[in-house]
Structure 1
Amino acid sequence: MNVLILTDFSAQAYNAARYALNSTPGPSNFYVLHASNGEAAQMDEALSELVGKLKKQPAAKQHCFSALPFSDNLINATRKAVIEKRIDIIVMGASGKNTSNFQGLGGNTCNVVKKVKCPVLVVPNCDFEQWEQLYLPLDLRFPVNTQALQLLQKLPVTENVSLNVWEFDLNNSGANIEDFKSVNYELHRQTLKKESDFLDKFWPEANAKANLIVFFARQLHITEKLLNRLSTVGKRKQNLPVLILHG
């Protein structure tokens, strides 16, 4: 796999980079990118130091690393890297130095998720746990291409991984998404009828059991509603990594 790690040299970004070393099933190419209009020599030095630290991690032995300094804005730099390096997945922290805390995510994180068409793994302040329970909420009012789930086959899941699909039929249409054939996981599905069920039913179970939450980028309104509601009720903290797919 080709993995792009975005860093602003914050503690959150470093933790996400460490997490990323465990997020591939075999030897992979890791590209560590920092975009800035600052002095090139300082950026090169900081990136080299970061790559050196990552190479010393126990999970780094099988991987190859490259530093990608860019004198550009983050979105342009990320788009270029995704194309030139044929990136499979982007990894970044949930927030960093330059954070607007918009919807519980850093401003840079939100921009990358919305403006760069590549899967993004968003890592909060957590350690890597083997992915055994994946939770996928779907709003049936907005169609998605489940072929995007093929990326999951490349990720380091356990042999008996479960994909828990929660389909929200808020229009009471009786619809469902038929095609999950591309995912060779143990599949569990349930349908919920009320928007409040997302916080009252989905989130408590996911928070207790999930190792990873999967969203589709075109359904980010689900994430925003959840984080807004958690903030309102004083339960904003969440330490689950989130994989956002485009499809």
Structure 2
Amino acid sequence: MNVLILTDFSETSGNAGRYAVDFLQKTAANFYLLNIHNFNFNRAASDHLETELVGTLSQLQSGIKTLKKYTGNKEHKFHTILSSENLIGAVRKALIDKKIDLIFIGAVSQDEHVHPILGDHAYDIVRKIKCNIIAVPTGCTYQNLKKAVFPVDHAILSGEEKDRILDNLDYLKTSEFTLLEIKDGDIEYPEPVNDKVPFKTPVPFTRELFRDIQKQFDIIFIIGKNLTICDRLLHTEYGFSAHMNVEIPIFVYHG
């Protein structure tokens, strides 16, 4: 398995790296630590460029050394990627070059959304990158993910597609899934038939519901094409995370 971890050398991204190692503690994996740095290549700045480049590479190597000490799996291999491209371009290039299967990124607290680097990363990645992604909140440590909640909007996801996803899911195999049927406005939803996992009564996906979810479950599992739920969770201006802390990881599934 090939795994991409985005880092800006903050504690939030460092925590996401440790979470990635713990999440895949029993799986052989290549971990790629990606940092995106806006180097100034103007001639006037050339005196500082080498120092800046060496310093950034040193921080990447330090991050790798930390994760090597942290893991207990000898089949975990660690590599660095340094890019001066924009966020989405750098991630897309890594997906192709390294054949990435899973991305880990730190999700900041509500107080950190003003941060010019941290603030929009998780939201932009979730919306624009078609790869399985786990957004790890600040301070969230890995635990056995016994209870997963799967918000489902039947206007977006058919019952057949939902069953196919659960039957072929390579992750969270030991988790107990609760499907939470979400309603939006006056849309009519078909009745679920022969569901393997119980549905709750259709409910609006509100801030209060999200607060209850975080108390009852270990991870949120959502489908990447369900942009409404992604927006409500991670949008940096009007999403839930702009007004309250995300406390459990969010798995955005793209297949």
Give how far 1:111 is off. Answer: 1.1
CA distance in 2, matches of 1:150, 1:41: 47
Question: Is it true that 1:237 corresponds to 2:245 in the alignment?
Answer: yes
Give how far 1:40 is off. Answer: 3.0
User: C-alpha root-mean-square deviation of aligned residues, in Å?
Assistant: 3.0
TM-score (norm 1): 0.80
Structure with greater strand share of residues? 1
CA distance in 2, matches of 1:64, 1:33: 14
- Partner in structure 2 of residue 154 of structure 1: 171
| Cα distance change, pair 209–152 in 1 and its aligned pair in 2 (3 A) | farther
- Partner in structure 2 of residue 45 of structure 1: 58
Question: Is it true that 1:23 corresponds to 2:23 in the alignment?
Answer: yes
Secondary structure at the counterpart of residue 238 of structure 1: coil
Q: What fraction of aligned residue pairs are identical, expressed as a percent?
A: 30
Higher CA-based Rg: 2
- Partner in structure 2 of residue 12 of structure 1: 12
Work out the number of aligned pairs and report it.
230
1:45-64 maps to which residues of 2 (within 5 A)? 45-64=58-77
CA distance in 1, matches of 2:30, 2:211: 36
Q: Deviation per CA, 1:103-126, whole angstroms, max 9, x where unpaired?
A: xx8311111111111111000121
1:6-155 maps to which residues of 2 (within 5 A)? 6-24=6-24, 25-38=26-39, 39-95=52-108, 100=113, 106-124=119-137, 125-143=139-157, 145-146=161-162, 147-149=164-166, 152-155=169-172
The correspondence for 1:219, drawn from 218, 221, 226, is: 226
| Cα distance change, pair 101–216 in 1 and its aligned pair in 2 (3 A) | farther
AA aligned to 1:219 is N
Give how far 1:209 is off. Answer: 2.1
- Partner in structure 1 of residue 216 of structure 2: 209
Secondary structure at the counterpart of residue 78 of structure 2: strand
Indicate conservation of the 8 Å contact 2:37/2:84, yes or no: yes
TM-score (norm 2): 0.78
Secondary structure at the counterpart of residue 55 of structure 1: helix
| Cα distance change, pair 165–81 in 1 and its aligned pair in 2 (3 A) | same
| Cα distance change, pair 129–77 in 1 and its aligned pair in 2 (3 A) | same
Q: Structure 1 unaligned runs (5+)?
A: 181-185
CA distance in 2, matches of 1:231, 1:31: 27
Give how far 1:60 is off. Answer: 4.8
Greater Cα shift, 127-136 or 218-227:
218-227
Give how far 1:46 is off. Answer: 1.2
Secondary structure at the counterpart of residue 68 of structure 1: strand
Q: Structure 2 unaligned runs (5+)?
A: 40-51
- Partner in structure 1 of residue 190 of structure 2: 175
| Cα distance change, pair 167–101 in 1 and its aligned pair in 2 (3 A) | farther
CA distance in 1, matches of 2:168, 2:83: 27
